[in-house]
Structures are given as structure tokens and as C-alpha cells.
Amino acid sequence: MESINRGEIIKVSGPLIIAKGMRDANMYDVVEVSDKRLIGEIIEMHGEEASIQVYEETAGLGPGEIVVSRGAPLSVELGPGLISSIYDGIQRPLDVLAATEGSNITRGAYAPALDREKEWDFIAQVDVGADLVNGDVLGVVQETDLLEHRIMLPPNLSGRILEINSGSYKVTDVIGKLEDENGKIHDLSLMQKWPVRIGRPYKEKVAPDEPLITGQRIIDTFFPVAKGGTAAVPGPFGSGKTVIQHQLAKWAEADVVVYIGCGERGNEMTDVLNEFPQLEDPNTGEPLMKRTILIANTSNMPVAAREASIYTGITIAEYFRDMGYVVSVMADSTSRWAEALREMSGRLEEMPGEEGYPAYLGSRLANFYERAGIIRCLGADHRVGVLTAIGAVSPPGGDLSDPVAQSTLRIVQVFWSLDSTLAYRRHFPAINWLTSYSLYSDKMDRWMNDNVTPRWSTLRQDAMRLLQEESELEEIVRLIGHDALSDGDRLKLEAARSLREDFLHQNSFDDIDTFTSLKKQHRMIELLMTWYYEAQKALEAGTDYTEIATMKVRDELARLKMVPESLIVDTAKQLSMKITNEFAALNVGGRQ
Amino acid sequence: MAREYRTIEEVAGPLMLVRGVENVKYDELAEIELPGGEVRHCKVLEIDGTDALVQLFESSIGINVEASKVRFLGRGQMLAVSRDMLGRVFDGLGNPIDGGAALIPEAMLDINGTPINPAARDYPNEFIQTGVSAIDGLNTLVRGQKLPIFSAAGLPHNMLAAQIARQARVLNTEDKFAVVFAAMGITFEESDFFIKDFRETGAIERTVMFINLADDPAIERIATPRLALTAAEYLAFELEMHVLVLMTDITYYAEALREISAARKEVPGRRGYPGYLYTDLAGLYERAGRKKGNKGTITLVPILTMPDEDKTHPIPDLTGYITEGQVILSRDLYRKGMRPPIDVLPSLSRLKDKGIGSGKTREDHADTMNQLFAAYSRGKDAKELEVILGSEALSDIDRVYAKFSDEFEEKYVSQGFNTDRSIEKTLNIGWELLSMLPQNELKRIHQQFIDQYYIEDQEV
């Protein structure tokens, strides 16, 4: 490595060190600290003194030790080999480190992010002499059974291909040569680098208009997130944030999923590592791990690297987006990332904002979420790439007035509010249907009306109204008891209970219930609401309430969620008939 | 190569500024020699050029700026570890206080440890029997888990901690089991209770104790849990034992952290606790776990008293975000005479599902656990209704549930601090209780288990 600049430590305070003699270094350059070669990043410059956040434990460092700048900002390596990897916050491959350094992470441990020895079969898709613009696809590598890795021209390079060859290559091998406009010749390889703090360029952004199907009923039906949209899941501990994030990582419709475990539990990452290779993608039947990349910077790993992990994750996601794929990023949890920001800010003795968080918390969060979206990729071939960002927020005590939660709500379009009372009642997912919202609802209703059923928006709004009425009625029940309600109101309570228990409640650990297709969601909500509409009619026709409430068909409606996808259409038809027949029988009885 | 300085510039609270030092490292350990020859310990908190900001582990009383000497030791804080630690009692800095001989160290380890690589972790999925039904049956502890006990002032968490330390064992294996006990800021009486209890019951033989008392310097408290975890790591990952680490009381630990943070004039976070409280606690809790290819495990049970029984206070709140569940003690149950007063409904062991079932506990465990939760919760609801509307308002079945919830607390939860129940026994008591309910109410249990275990014709 070419050393651009050498300095010398003068101060050490936790993960922050100050070095002198750094006049020629640039802001955000990566530096190597002491002969242990700990990785750090310059975050402030004062004259020839640089403040450096060090990504590793700094015990044992002292004044006088050397600091060497690498002359480039913190960057990630992008190329074949990313999929199925597990990286720490600065893209060190944890599985490789575990094999070479042992089960604990030692300081200064290093391994390249992409395997330098592995050979990939590259198939060129352009010819010698072709004039290419930046972002054009040079060729492909079949990285896993699920993913064709498109090798693109880096965003800063365009020109004429002088040489390009299919064949078996390592990531650093030269696969071809390109002559740019100025006549300079560049070697092309399978791998490129990109600085994590800068969003990868694209042609233009377009507004999201299609739902991201997650297979989670309360999300898809009531609070949908758009492809290319942003969502936040705030909630107190024990309310199931991580389970929801895992469910989305497992089932959300995506070509690539980047899961960032940022300041969370080590065992959770182990869980993902154990489980994902076993789980099958509902669309392809291949193990989910073949489309997943994990970034694991657990809570006990150095705090500065936690700050970087979010950027590392989203840059990798952008790279796959640029290939024209649908990519999702899950960040669990952005609150821990914000705390890392706060810790560094405190060490820099910056003027604190609310609760000690730096004043730039909001803009940093916005920078992260705004990297999501639907974009037209660089390159001449009109690819469209999608990046959806979903962040968990862990507000202290579940209190949403927390600065991180508030700054997040200002940016994201979808808010799934987790509720500890629901979790306490073991109602999962514990998304509160009264306080959550999705600003995409109207747009998504239109899509659902066009693509699922024209009645979608009516069904959804009726169901929502029912749930809203339930909460009002429950207030009354609490004051004057159940007996004081009219039969019509009782029916509402009963129908709402059934919506809650038979539709909103979803068991993520059950093989069938864990994922529900739109087709099935449609049948379920239609049948539940049909029963309610019919029951209302029957009640008006004078049928006894108890008879309606105890109808046999209701047991079958309750078991709908356990009906396998393949049988749902037939089952729904039969049930629909049964509802009609049973009500017909009741109505006859009622008139007698 | 000890370097001595007589250049103490200022002493304020637990912090001391030493000027003109050379070649001093961050986090390095140092000694202060007082004019009378007394030696105290401290460590470097910040090094700025030739100024070292040093944190005292002990009191600053008697430190003379002119005449005291500071000696930098050229190493971080280490702990001498050995298999002979079992059965011994140490102070909060790792010195023996049981009158026994000094240890002959098998290794010297840095007390800060290094983070376990997430890719090298193994998922916790083996059962630990604590002998306490409310834990084993409903909030099962798993080897490698971190499961705190949320308590409050005046509740018997120490009794429960001692009970767990005495009774905990692993089943179906020849592997060795050990307990590491770290006390931070507890009173002499409490510490005396633990030491006596462990000695009398023989539990001391497999236990290592680190005791930092309430009147020991708060700063020492920062080191105590790290010493305990370092000892635990040695026993678990070098000697391949199953180690249960009990820590009491995390609240005092966090307060010590706040004290230092305030002395350093750091920007405070919530309730004056430093912004890095989460990271600091995680640095302790995350040392629990299992590693691939290693038989040893570290299971962590930290105990904390919630100030004003407020679960949203930063200490229980941040702990809850890191640990895998919590066991909650309830004052209501305690007043009703339940011992231990574990409130099972808000308690939760996130990893329980992985550690129970056939081959681990018993095949009916998961079903009965869910049914007991559901039935107890329904019984509690019924009792609440009874309070508001009178017992006439209850249906027959609700009355059975109300009775069930009373019996459940009485027989299942309130087993006393000296009863050690095997998991078989716990599950059987569960069935005795469930058999109070009609069979068709047991919707969460597979029919085959009802056929096998349900007790017919039990009196209601």
C-alpha cells in the first residue's frame, strides 16, 4: 500500500485519537494507526492535526505512535463473492476471520472482503470496439443459482473496449481493457471499489408505485410499503422488532437482501446464519442465503465500526440495485447507529442537540433513507433498479418522542408501530393497527384494485373502519359493561375480534402461516368481511345475535390461515358457498 | 520498565491529571504511592501529549499532589486465572479475601476480553435446570443465554440468585458446571448472606466469587464484572466447563459508570447516564455465549433493581434491548406470600423454544408451557372481572380459570427458596394444574400428550 502521509499520535481518548503531521491527508481518508495497523477514519482536520475515529479497541495506544493515511476514503469492494457473505461494519469478512484468527476478533485482523483466490466464470456480453458509457454491463458471472452478477463499468469510466475476454478469472484479474475519451487505457476487472459515504450515481429517480409484497398480512393489506420506499419499525424491547425484520428479510420479494445487524445481539446474527441456509425462497425454492448479505457489527464490537456499518450495507445494496435488481436493506437497529454517532460526537466535544445526540442526527438519517428509491440505472440499456430501506428503531422505554424516532418519522413513508401491550397479549406481529400508517396506502390501493381485485380498497377500508369502531366500543364496554351494547355493536366487536385473531395475528414460526401470498390475503379478508356483511343483513332481518355469533362456518374461517397456498382458491370457494348456505338457513329460522 | 512521576497536577473526584509523562498508553494501569508507602491503583483514561488523565480505582483520600508518586505499569488491567479459582472468594479487584493462599496463575488475561466473532458463535439451544419451576417450565434458561432478573428494592432477588447458584445444573452430560458470582455495590450483610449460603450448602466448591461492597470505591465496580467474565471465559472456553455467571446489582454498576462520566464532564444522556451506557453494558452481556467447536458455555444472569419499579428506566430498558428476555419479580406476588415472586406473564425467555422438547426436557414441554400461559392469563382476567362486576358475573368456566390462577401461583410459582425441582417434577405439577380444566379447554396441547398426561377425575 502506497503511503500518502505519515503522522504521529498526540492524544488518545477511547475510540478517538488525534494525530499531528497530517496536513496532506484528506477528510474521511482511511488511516492505519500504530504498528498494529488498526483501521481508522479522519473525521476532523484542524491545521495539521487530524481527529481520527478508530474502528477497533484503542487500549495500549499512546502518543508518538505512527498514523499512516491510505489516501482514500472508506470504501467497499464490490464484485462476485459478496452474496452469502457475513461482514463486519468495515467489510471485513467475519467467516474468513473466524477461520484464520480464531473465534474472537483480534485487533488489527485483516482479510480482503472479496476472496482473491476464487475464480469466477465470466461471460463477456460486449464486443471489442464497442463504445460504452459508465454503468454499462460488460458481462455476467453466475454468482449463485439465484443471482446473475452483472459486471458493470464503474460509474466514473466510459470509453471504447480494446479488449475483453470471457473465461475464468479471479476478482482482481484483468478481464479487458478500455480506452477513455482522453486516450487513457484502463484495465477492467470483476471488482470495483466505492466510497461508502457517497451514494452511487444513477440517471434519475422515479416515484414508487408498486407494493413490496412481504407475505405479512397486516403489512401488505393495511400498511403496505412500496418497492423503493422507506419504512421504520419502532418499538420497545420484546415487541418483536427483530422478528419482523427477519420476516421481511426472509419473505419480502427481492433479488438481493442486505441485512445490517447494527449494535444488536450476537446470537441474532448466529440465528440468521443458521436459519437462512435452511429456508427456501418462496419463488425459487433455493436457500434464502443465496440472495442474502449480512453485515454484523454486534453491540460489543467497536462503536466506530457500527457507525460505518449502515453505510457499508447500503453501498453494497446500491451496487446490486445498479445491476437492475430489486434490493432490500434491513437495518436493525438505527437507534444503535445513532448512539454510535452520539458517542463520537461527545468525544469530539461538539455542541449537543437533543438528549446529547448531535445536531446533524436528522440529516444523517435522511441521507441514509434517501439512498432508497426506484432509479433508472447508469448505462445505455434502461435498466431499472429498486432499493427499499427498512429500519428498526429502538426508542428508550418505547417512547416515540425520542430524537431518533422523531427524526426517522419525518423521513420514512411507512410507520409500523410496535405495541408492548399487544406483545404482552402474545399478539404477533405486534403492529398496532390504530397508530401505524403508510403514506403509500392510496397508491397501493390503486395497484391492488388493478392487480388483485377491484374491491380491494373497499374491503380494506371497511375492515379498517371496523377495527377503529372496535376500539371506540371497547371504551364503552370498559365503562358500562358488555351487556349495555346493542346487538349491532356486539356484532361489530365479534367481527373485529375475528379480524384481529384470524387475519392480523400471524405466526412467523409456523411453516404455512409465516408467508401469505396476496392471493390468499385477498381470499381471507374477503371471506371475513363477507361474513360480517351477511351477518349485518341477517341481524337486520331479525335473526338472533347468538345464533350468528356461534355459526359453524366461523371455525372454518378461523382456520383459513392454516390452509396451504395451493388449496386456498378451492377452499375459499367452498367457504363462500357455506357462508351463503348457513345464512340462508339462519334467515329462514329467523323469520319463523 | 516502570516509570515513576511526581507530577500530579490535580485530583478531582476519581480523576487525576499527571503531567509530563512519556510513553504512556491509553488504558494502561498505574499505581500511586502515597507518602506513607500505601499503594493504590488507577488507569489511564485519556492521554493528551504528555498529560495523562488517570482514573483512580480507590479513594483519593490522602493523596498528596507534591509527595505522591505515580508509577505506570506498561500493561492494561489483567486477571490471573487458574482452575484453582473455584471455591475462592476475591475482592472487586481480584485479590483473595477468604484468607487462602495466593493463586498460582495458569494465565494472565486482559479483563476487557475481545468480542466473539458473530460468525464463530454457536446458537444457544441446550437446557439449564435451575430447579425453579417458573423459570424452567415457563421461561426456560438456555446455555449461552443472557437472561436478567428485573427486581426492585425490597424484593428477594438475592434469595433467588442464591437459589439458582446452588441448584443450577446441566442434564444428560458429564461436562463440568461452575458458577461465577460477581457482586457489585452490595452491602456487607448481603455479601455475608451469599458467602455463608454458598459455604453451608457446599455450592462454594464450584463457585468463584468476586465481591465489591457498597462502601468499596465505586470505580472498582467498573472492573468487577469484567474480572468475573474473564474468569468465566477461562473456565468456559479454556477448560470447557458450563459456566453460569450471576451478577448483582447492575444498577449499582451503572451508577458507578455515571459517577465517572460526570467527573469527566461528559455530555450526559438520559437521566444523567453516559451516552455509551448501552455499548458498555453490551460489552459485558455479549461476553456470554457459545462458540463453535468448543464445549464450554457462558450463561449470564444479571440482576438489577429497577429504580421505582420503572421498566422504562435506562438501566432495565437498555438491558432489555441487549439480553434475551427477562425474569420479572413482582411486589404484588411477594405481598401475597409467593416465594419466589416471579411474575411469569411479563417475563420472557426469548431462547426458550430452542432449549426445550424431546431429548432436552420433555416432549410435552412446549405445549404445556403455552397452555399454562394462556390459562393463567385468562384466570387473571377473570379475577379482574370479578373485582369489578362481582363473582356472579363470571361464567362457570371463568370461575374454574380464576381458581386455576390462584392454584398456579400457590403450587407452581411459590415453591420456596429451598426447594429444588427437577424439570420432570415441574412439568408434572403443570399437568396437575392443567387437569383442573376440562380437556376441551386444552386447545394448545396436542391430543397425544393429553392422552398421556392428563389426570382424569381430578377434583375442582
Closest-CA distance, B433 to chain A, in angstroms, reads 21
Tell if the CB–CB gap between A301 and B120 is shorter than 8 Å.
Answer: no
Alpha carbon distance, N-terminus to C-terminus of chain B: 78
Residue B352: count other Cβ atoms within 10 Å of its Cβ: 25
Largest Cα–Cα distance in chain A? 99
**Interchain CB contact of B73 with A (< 8 Å):** no
| Chain B CB contacts of A238 below 8 Å | 320, 325-326, 348
Closest-CA distance, A131 to chain B, in angstroms, reads 44
Distance CA A191, CA B356 (A): 46
Residue B418: count other Cβ atoms within 10 Å of its Cβ: 11
Distances (CA, A) of B289 to A68, A331, B79, B357: 36, 23, 21, 21
| Residue B458, pLDDT score | 65
Contact between A375 and A200 under an 8 Å Cβ cutoff? The reply is no
Tell if the CB–CB gap between A270 and B291 is shorter than 8 Å.
Answer: no
Residue in chain B nearest A20 by alpha carbon: B49
Quote ipTM for the complex. Answer: 0.87
What pTM was computed for the model? 0.92
Contact between A299 and B286 under an 8 Å Cβ cutoff? The reply is yes
Encode pLDDT of B245-278 as tens digits. 999 999 999 999 998 888 888 888 888 898 889 9
- Torsion sign across C-alpha atoms A361, A362, A363, A364: positive
Closest-CA distance, B98 to chain A, in angstroms, reads 32
Cell of A63: 502518543
Of A127, A132, A92, A134, the C-alpha closest to A112 is A92
Contact between B35 and B64 under an 8 Å Cβ cutoff? The reply is yes
Chosen for mutation from B22, B29, B121 (greatest number of chain A CBs closer than 10 Å) is B121
| Chain A CB contacts of B124 below 8 Å | 267
Question: Who's near B11: CB < 8 A, 6+ residues apart?
Answer: B17, B60, B63, B65
Q: Does an H or E element contain A6, and which? A: strand A5-13
Please list the ranges in chain A whose pLDDT falls under 70.
Answer: 1-4, 587-592
CB pairs under 8 A between A and B: 188
Distances (CA, A) of A290 to A254, A276, A543: 12, 9, 56
Residue in chain B nearest A11 by alpha carbon: B48
| Chain B CB contacts of A394 below 8 Å | 321
Tell if the CB–CB gap between B115 and A10 is shorter than 8 Å.
Answer: no
| Residue A3, pLDDT score | 47
Task: Report helix, strand or coil for B196.
Answer: helix
What are the DSSP calls for A34-83, one per residue?
A: TTTTEEEEEEEEETTEEEEEESS--TT--TT-EEEEEEEE-EEEESTT-T
Q: Which amino acid is at A520?
A: K
What are the DSSP calls for B342-399, one per residue?
A: EEEEEEEETTHHHH-STTTS-TTHHHHHHHHHHHHHHHHHHHHHHHHH-GGGS-HHHH
Chosen for mutation from B77, B321, B326 (greatest number of chain A CBs closer than 10 Å) is B321
Closest-CA distance, A274 to chain B, in angstroms, reads 8
Which string of b and e fits B107-139 if b means at least 16 CB within 10 Å? Answer: eebbbbbbbbbbbbbbbbbbbbbbbbbbbbbbb
Q: Which amino acid is at A292?
A: T
Distance CA A509, CA A502 (A): 16
Encode pLDDT of A293-333 as tens digits. 999 999 999 888 899 999 999 999 999 999 999 999 999 98
Residue in chain A nearest B110 by alpha carbon: A59
Tell if the CB–CB gap between A104 and B325 is shorter than 8 Å.
Answer: no
Contact between A344 and A16 under an 8 Å Cβ cutoff? The reply is yes
User: Grid coordinates 411507512 are at which residue?
Assistant: A414
Of B215, B220, B224, the C-alpha closest to B14 is B220
Chosen for mutation from B21, B26, B264, B271 (greatest number of chain A CBs closer than 10 Å) is B26
Closest-CA distance, B282 to chain A, in angstroms, reads 5
Please list the ranges in chain B whose pLDDT falls under 50.
Answer: 460
Distance CA A427, CA A450 (A): 32
| Residue A589, pLDDT score | 54
Cell of A489: 355493536
User: Grid coordinates 331479525 are at which residue?
Assistant: A542
Q: Which amino acid is at A50?
A: A
Tell if the CB–CB gap between B23 and A106 is shorter than 8 Å.
Answer: no
Distance CA A128, CA A78 (A): 24
Of A327, A330, A266, the C-alpha closest to A296 is A266
What is the number of residues in chain B?
Answer: 460
Distance CA B189, CA A519 (A): 66
R_g over Cα of chain A: 28
Tell if the CB–CB gap between A356 and B348 is shorter than 8 Å.
Answer: no
| Residue A588, pLDDT score | 64
Q: Does an H or E element contain B122, and which? A: strand B121-122
Distance CA B161, CA B152 (A): 14
Q: Omega into B249 within 30° of 0, i.e. cis?
A: yes
Name the H helices within A183-302: 217, 241-251, 266-275
Contact between A223 and A390 under an 8 Å Cβ cutoff? The reply is no
Tell if the CB–CB gap between B123 and A102 is shorter than 8 Å.
Answer: no
| Chain A CB contacts of B46 below 8 Å | 11-14
Distances (CA, A) of A551 to A535, A554, B105: 10, 6, 75
| Chain B CB contacts of A474 below 8 Å | none
Residue B22: count other Cβ atoms within 10 Å of its Cβ: 12
Distance CA A319, CA A150 (A): 10
Q: Which amino acid is at A266?
A: G
Distance CA A354, CA B173 (A): 53
Tell if the CB–CB gap between B278 and A299 is shorter than 8 Å.
Answer: yes
Encode pLDDT of A115-142 as tens digits. 999 999 999 999 999 999 999 999 999 9
Closest-CA distance, A439 to chain B, in angstroms, reads 29
| Residue A1, pLDDT score | 41
Pairing of strands B149-151, B325-329: parallel
